[in-house]
Amino acid sequence: MHKIFKFLAVLFTLFGVAIFFNDQSKGSEIPLLAGLFMIFVSKEKIEDERVKILKSSSAYIALIVGYGFKLISTNLYEHQAFPFQLIDINHFLILVFALAICIYYLRLYLSWE
């Protein structure tokens, strides 16, 4: 069952990326956001305490890094040194979920335990 959920999540994410970059209308980022959220909350084959700790700490790290990027990019945008400003909450959530997924899988598969 979790394989079907992950497959749907990846499908949502791939379609969401295509829609996000081709359609600039309001709400076009929702499939991408939903897909990233589904990937992040999907269960692993072995769901133990280590996986739960890695997921939660990866979310914390991603939130801190994402908010730091938002603050720095806003400051650089105000000084005309950065081409865009991260003002939409959905774009911020996409950044946080994408970072959390990357951090989680890097820590999961590159750890020495």
- Condensed to tens digits (0 to 9), the pLDDT of residues 26-50 reads 888 999 999 999 999 988 888 789 8
Predicted pLDDT of residue 112: 66
Predicted pLDDT of residue 43: 85
Residue spans of the domains in the chain: they are: 1-43, 46-113
Encode 42-69: b = buried (16+ Cβ within 10 Å), e = exposed: eeeeeeeeeeeebbeebbebbeeebeee
Alpha carbon separation from 45 to 6, 14, 21, 57, 97 (Å, rounded):
11, 22, 32, 19, 20
Predicted pLDDT of residue 1: 65
* Stretch 88-93: mean pLDDT: 90
Predicted TM-score (pTM) of the model is 0.88
Distance CA(75)–CA(79), nearest Å, equals 7
Sign, CA dihedral 25-63-108-56, equals negative
Q: What is the largest CA-CA distance in the chain?
A: 50
Predicted pLDDT of residue 85: 78
As a whole number, the mean pLDDT across the chain is 90
Tokens of 87: 């003002």
